[in-house]
Structure 1
Amino acid sequence: MSTLRGRVAGLPQWDRCAVMGVVNVTPDSFSDGGRWFDTGAAVKRGLDLATGGADLVDVGGESTRPGASRVDEDEELRRVIPVVRGLASEGVVVSVDTMRASVAEHAVSAGAVLVNDVSGGLADPAMVPVVAAAGVPFVVMHWRGFSADMNNRAVYGDVVAEVVAELRDRMDAVVAGGVDPERIVIDPGLGFAKQAEHDLTLLAHLSELHGLERPLLVAASRKRFLGRVLAGDEGSPPPARERDAATAAVSAIAAREGAWAVRVHEVRPTADAVRVARAVEGAV
Structure 2
Amino acid sequence: MKTAFYILFKEYSDSSRSPSALYIKDNTETDPEQIVKEVNEWLKIARFFKYERCDRYYDSENMKGVLYPYIVLQEEYEEEEYPNVTVVIQALLNEEGFVDWRDEPLESGEQYSLNNQDVTNDCLGEMARNEAQGNAVVLLNCNAFHFRSPIVLSVNPTGNNVSIYWYNDIRSFHQWFSDNRQPQRVYVYNPKHGDDKHPAQMIAGTTKRAAQLLTNRNDTERLLKLAVGTDINSALWYYDEANNCYIYFENQNELRLAFHGYHLSEGEENYDNIDFHKLSLLSEEK
The structure where helix makes up a greater share of residues is 1
TM-score scaled by structure 1?
0.33
Q: Which structure is higher in RCO with an 8 Å CA cutoff and minimum separation 6?
A: 1
Q: Which has the larger radius of gyration?
A: 2
> Could you state the TM-score of these two structures normalised by the residue count of structure 2?
0.32
